[in-house]
Amino acid sequence: MGLCRGSEAGSSSGHRLRVGVSALCGWGRAVPSPHRAAPPPCDVCGPHPASSWAVMGGADDVDLPRAFVLMAAEIGLWVILRPGPYICSEMDLGGLPSWLLQDPGMRLRTTYKGFTEAVDLYFDHLMSRVVPLQYKRGGPIIAVQVENEYGSYNKDPAYMAYVKKALEDRGIVELLLTSDNKDGLSKGIVQGVLATINLQSTRELQLLTTFLFNVQGTQPKMVMEYWTGWFDSWGGPHNILDSSEVLKTVSAIVDAGSSINLYMFHGGTNFGFMNGAMHFHDYKSDVTSYDYDAVLTEAGDYTAKYMKLRDFFGSISGIPLPPPPDLLPKMSCEPITPVLYLSLWDALKYMGEPIKSEKPINMENLPVNGGNGQSFGYILYETSITSSGVLSGRVRDRGQVFVNTVSIGFLDYKTTKIAVPLIQGYTVLRILVENRGRVNYGENIDDQRKGLIGNLYLNDSPLKKFRIYSLDMKKSFFQRFGLDKWSSLPETPTLPAFFLGSLSISSTPCDTFLKLEGWEKGVVFINGQNLGRYWNIGPQKTLYLPGPWLSSGINQVIIFEETMAGPALQFTETPHLGRNQYIKVTGWAGETEFLSPASS
């Protein structure tokens, strides 16, 4: 038994394929490394498919999934393509573009016209590139997933049939799959599509395989996502899953006659601002690292899980496995001290005229980026006030409040009011709002607009006449700040601020990890690339810096720090992702059990 091309839900080639393990590493979370002469680590676990998400983004992004598919074919892997349009994957808005939220009536993941028009355009671009790469056309794509875990959302009974038809109308002929966890499996079944399951425990395996047998008989069984670890949230523990537990569950899945996809096989990184968030009882945004305690680490290093699974799959495949390739080296560097500095308030002078509005405008509806609004980063609101009082409003996600340039506190989901003192003379009220990441899973994804949502009130009276600055921190954002705009670092810098330093490398650059001890919260940019967020509340204490982002010679380092600057930046060969917390996940968020913590 196993995943089969040649059932009523698949193609008619008559071939049978057991998917023993899928080496999944989302293309958006990995940085290409130089080709190795030896087989890649996924290959030495045996010849298997790779599973790849495609993200619904701009026209510039649609060639990336094709490149991923071609790379998989080059190293001898089959591909299960998961084109969404919604993918979850702990990415901002589940991989959907934020400009969809400009429509006040938008209903994501439904047959609402405003959504399906965007999906049709996305599929038109993407499918024209990947349809020729299907198995029947000599390519590596053996199956395509229809949306993702829709049974847990299930707001429109016509939606999944629409997505299925949209794929088929554009030339998809390979096996179609759905993918659902235990909470959504019963509602996620689609006629003519093979249902697969997502899980982490052997108990769920027994429940879900019994259900699958009842609804689709002896058709091939597949665990589309066996969660090899878990993601982390700021302020929480670093979640890990014991390698022996992983081996036991994988063995049980194989013994049940099921194919399996390991999610994640290769950890990754939420570079830039791409991380998602969860909001059930409390809002929790995901950390920059997407190491996930996966089979291979964020940097591609081996783990105990890798060695145990390699031995296991080698014992059942009957195929001699090549030795694991040498790992890419890591490096540590001398600490660097920023020497130049630009306060946010001085930076505003070089950003052109602000957007002027009678009322606050949320991030997505700002008239910037050719009408597409602002997707990520920060947004600064300014207005004048003439009295003290209590400030209140709906801030998404975290707003630092200033009177002139003096910070007086924060507004967020829990703190919705703050006392504002009056300073003699001209008084400017400022709120620097950070989009910490849009929710990627749950019923409230339609409600993910960022910035100030609605009016901002002082003593229950709405404030007017705002000046708004878009601080998206793209490469073009920093091009405004030539070296002549920066000044020497003062002993007591005014924050928030940008700090500029340089990293000198005399040899061939290797991967490294950046430590920001003494810094509190902000973002790091290396040679113009957004490395991601840091925050001293943890659990993550280092940022992964890929060698391909560095060059021999001088490398530019910019830090945007919100509240407290440290003395230097350090570089180490080893990551520190926080205090480990062993987990046993029996369901989705809210059903996670934490067991026996230990130091990492």
Domain match, 446 and 557 both: no
DSSP conformation class of 481: -
Residue at 536 is within a domain: yes
Q: How confident is the model at residue 43, as a pLDDT? A: 57
Say if CB 393 and CB 439 are below 8 A apart.
Answer: no
| Nearest C-alpha neighbor of 600 from the set 515, 513, 544, 541 | 541
Q: Please write down the long-range contacts of 422-427, taking CB distance under 8 Å and 24 or more positions apart.
A: 422/385, 422/386, 422/387, 422/388, 426/384, 427/384, 427/385, 427/386, 427/403
CATH number, domain at 503? 2.60.120.260
The span from the CA of 475 to the CA of 355, in Å, is 20
- On whether residue 448 sits in a domain, the answer given is yes
Question: Is residue 111 domain-shared with residue 88, that is, in the same domain?
Answer: yes
Q: Would you say residue 582 lies in a domain?
A: no
What are the residues whose beta carbons fall under 8 Å from the beta carbon of 164, sequence distance 6 or more?
146, 176, 190, 192, 193
Q: Tell me the CA distances in angstroms from 6 to 93, 175, 262, 300, one per residue in order.
A: 35, 8, 24, 35
Tokens read off for 185: 């499996």
Looking at the annotation, which residues are catalytic? Answer: 149, 225
- Of the three residues 475, 499, 524, the one that is the final residue of a domain is 475
DSSP 336: B
Distance between CA atoms of residues 354 and 470, nearest Å: 8
Single out the residue of 573, 489, 581 nearest to residue 539, CA to CA: 581
Q: Are 580 and 598 in contact (CB under 8 A)?
A: yes
Count H helices, E strands: the chain?
8, 33
Give which of 476, 374, 386, 371 is closest to 426, Cα–Cα.
Answer: 386
Domain for residue 581, yes or no?
A: no
What DSSP state is assigned to residue 85?
A: S
* Region for 481 from its dihedrals, namely left if φ exceeds 0, alpha if ψ lies in -120 to 50, beta otherwise: beta
In a domain, 206, yes or no: yes
Q: How far apart are the first and last CA of the chain?
A: 40
Q: Are residues 156 and 214 in the same domain?
A: yes
Q: Is there a domain that residue 72 lies in?
A: yes
pLDDT in tens, the chain (600 residues): 234 444 333 333 444 555 665 545 555 677 766 434 344 566 556 556 677 777 776 545 557 788 889 998 998 899 999 999 999 999 999 999 999 999 999 999 999 999 999 999 999 999 999 999 999 999 999 999 999 999 999 999 999 999 999 999 999 999 999 999 998 999 999 999 999 999 999 989 988 888 889 989 989 999 999 999 999 999 999 999 999 999 999 999 999 999 999 999 999 999 999 999 999 999 999 999 999 999 999 999 999 999 999 999 999 888 888 889 899 999 999 999 999 999 999 999 999 999 999 999 999 999 999 999 999 999 999 999 999 999 999 999 999 999 999 999 999 999 999 999 977 888 999 999 999 999 999 999 999 999 999 999 999 999 999 999 999 999 999 999 999 999 999 999 999 999 999 999 999 999 999 999 999 999 999 999 999 999 999 999 999 999 999 999 999 999 999 999 999 999 999 999 997 777 654 443 334 443 433 333
Burial class (CB in 10 A: 0-12, 13-18, 19+), 60: exposed
Nearest Cα neighbor of 502 from 548, 549, 569 is: 569
Are 178 and 160 spatial neighbours (Cβ–Cβ below 8 Å)?
Answer: yes
126 with 222, same domain: the answer is yes
580-585/487-488 β-pairing: unpaired
Total number of domains in the chain: 3
**Where in the sequence is the domain holding 41, given as residue range(s)?**
27-317
Do residue 175 and residue 286 come from a single domain? yes
What is the pLDDT of the chain when averaged over all its residues?
90
Amino acid identity at 538: G
3-state secondary structure of 421: coil
What angle (nearest 5°) sits at the alpha carbon of residue 192, between those of residues 190 and 196?
Answer: 60
In a domain, 593, yes or no: no
**Claim to verify: residue 420 and residue 506 sit in the same structural domain:** no
Cα gap 44→325, rounded to integer Å: 8
Instruction: Give the β-pairing of 141-145 and 79-82.
Output: parallel
* pTM check: above 0.85: yes
User: What is the C-alpha to C-alpha distance for residues 507 and 551, in angstroms, rounded to an integer?
Assistant: 9
Domain boundary among 296, 317, 338: 317
Q: Is residue 231 part of a domain?
A: yes
- Euclidean distance between CA atoms 109 and 111, whole angstroms: 7
Tell whether 375 and 271 lie within a shared domain.
no
Together in a domain, 214 and 270? yes
- Shared-domain flag, residues 209 and 358: no
184 and 152 share a domain?
A: yes
One domain for residues 189 and 304: yes
Per-residue pLDDT tens over the stretch 67-83: 889 998 998 899 999 99
Do 265 and 285 belong to one domain?
yes
52/80 Cα distance (integer angstroms) = 6
CATH code of 193's domain? 3.20.20.80
